[in-house]
Structure 1
Amino acid sequence: MPIHKAIKVDLEYQNRRQNGFGNSNLLEKELMESIRVWLKYSLNNNVQLEISPFAYFQNHKIILEKSDEMDKPIKEYRLSAAIEQTNSLTKRLYWANKTGLDFRFFEQSSNNLIRVREKLYLKYELLKNWQIMLWDEILLNVTNASLAHLLDHNRLYLSSIYQFSPSLKVELGYMKINRLQKSNMDLLNENNLILNCTYTLKNIKKNRC
């Protein structure tokens, strides 16, 4: 929701699903649920600062064995900050990079960590209200992790974004994740289908006498 020409507030809700053990029902089990607040400030047309002063996550274990379905979810609180810079290559083609920092707090404080993330992406406007986006993001654990587990995971993403109205935007995408779990030295490969819905509220204007 825009609250000023250069400032807006986002309220984000996520629900991620996964298949159960031994089946291919992608929606059967919960993987993660979260709610997060973002404050975004545009320094100019190309640079944006983002701060999330509060986020709550409920993380379920990735199901690799039958017993994983019985594990209780792990609660996480997160503080995040990022800076994003966008540049145009042509009239319709843009590239951008986004550098972020996550402060992750878990129920067991010994698991708390700081994570750095770097994203590079391309965005192409097929039409005025239809875009294609491709990006890659690497996430690194810089505290509470051995050098061998510096990599948290890498995301490769392709999506189609359609603006139905000034208020409603829908994004459909596919994400390939290579994840390095702390308990393992082998990369875990994940395939994800993504649906993002964004609804923008109009900023409130004061009535003048």
Structure 2
Amino acid sequence: MSLKSSLEEIQQAKARNLARITCEATPHHLLLDENFKNGSGNVPKTNPPLRTVEDKEALQRGLSNGIIDVIATDHAPHTHDDLKKGASGFVGLENALGVILTKLVHPGILSLKEVVQKMSTNPARIFKVNGGSLAVGMPADITIIDMDKEWTVEVEEFESKARNCPFQGWKLTGQVVTTLVAGKVVFDNCQMVC
């Protein structure tokens, strides 16, 4: 979801209960617009492209009023060579939560509970995945966050093969410190655990 007009159509369809409709938005479409330039002075290439300020603001409203069901990273880990050949997209997995906490939770646009719903509970429900909840009997897939940890997005520190991140150099507050999958620690102290 990147356009205000698309969001309005989704809202109308949901209001009429015409179909089971869900939609997602990415951190870059929620926070950046067509005027954004990366550190090289270029408008980063993504598909769909970054839109107008009006579109971005409409998406933020759609997120907070429940029209947008999911915040998706749209993680597209293209190498530099892939990008030179025309690939589009951004690395999103390693910085999405910090960006969302800093730009949407700390300013009061979304609550932490809403972020959990939109990044965990809702995707699991929509795709019928056994997870997304801390309920008894569910897999112990848990992310532990330090809500006050300050850090800077540094693409050279990414585990991903890609470095195409529009948030490079952003100062963020809130970071994943530990991740468990099925009860096993797979990420701890900002490092993958093998």
Structure number with higher strand proportion: 1
Shared fold by TM > 0.5?
no
User: Is the radius of gyration larger for structure 1 or structure 2?
Assistant: 1
**TM-score when scaled to structure 2?**
0.25
Question: Which structure has the higher relative contact order (CA within 8 Å, separation 6+)?
Answer: 2
**TM-score when scaled to structure 1?**
0.24
